[in-house]
Amino acid sequence: MADFQFVTVWRIEASRSRVCDAVSACLDWPRWWKGVVSVQEVEPGDGDGVGSLRRFTWKGRLPYRLTFDLRVTCVVPLTILEARATGELEGIGRWHFSDEGPVTVVRYEWRVRTNRTWLNLLAPVARPVFKWNHDQVMRQGAEGMARLLNARLVSLVHG
């Protein structure tokens, strides 16, 4: 398996509650996040969403799709949303939310490994291309959220 670690930071001029609501409402992501092909609810969670299981299909700029399940494992309202991925990707995704004045800082950490044979075979040489593809998907998310919230995307940083 090939391991990947990505960190993306969005700074959006919108309230933290509006940004957190948009991220938490992942069933709506295909409406505003271009890279999200579909999100299906598999199992509901508790009142905060902990335990919920959703199946995501993503498509970046490269000609392939990835489908995996995300189970919410931790919610600290307005601060952290964490989920465990299983399927074609396995690992942890964690959203952190904070404020810088009128700007909400969204830090997304994505630590995963691939379960698709061809991705694992190509990873040693194609890793920079896979990172570029991930970065493009995250750019689409930041720009889509800014449009959804009618807010200014102050900055976008890929680590």
With contact defined as beta carbons under 8 Å apart, do 149 and 19 qualify? yes
Rounded CA separation 47/34 (Å): 28
Q: What is the pTM (predicted TM-score) of this model?
A: 0.94
| Residue range 2-42, pLDDT digits in tens | 899 999 999 999 999 999 999 999 999 999 999 999 999 99
- Say if residue 76's pLDDT is above 90: yes
Which structure tokens are listed for 82?
């964490």
With contact defined as beta carbons under 8 Å apart, do 59 and 53 qualify? no
Phi-psi region of 138 (alpha: psi -120 to 50; beta: other; left: phi over 0): alpha
Domain extent at residue 96: 3-158
| Residue range 34-65, pLDDT digits in tens | 999 999 999 999 988 899 999 999 999 989 99
Rounded CA separation 101/129 (Å): 35
59 HSE (CA, 13 A, CB side): 7
* pLDDT on residue 126: 86
Q: Which residues contact 52 (CB under 8 A, 6 or more apart)?
A: 41, 43, 44, 45, 71, 72
pLDDT band at 79 (very low <50, low <70, confident <90, very high): very high
CATH number of the structural domain spanning residue 69: 3.30.530.20
Number of structural domains found in the chain: 1
| Residue range 88-136, pLDDT digits in tens | 999 999 999 999 999 999 999 999 999 888 888 888 888 899 999 999 9
* pLDDT on residue 43: 95
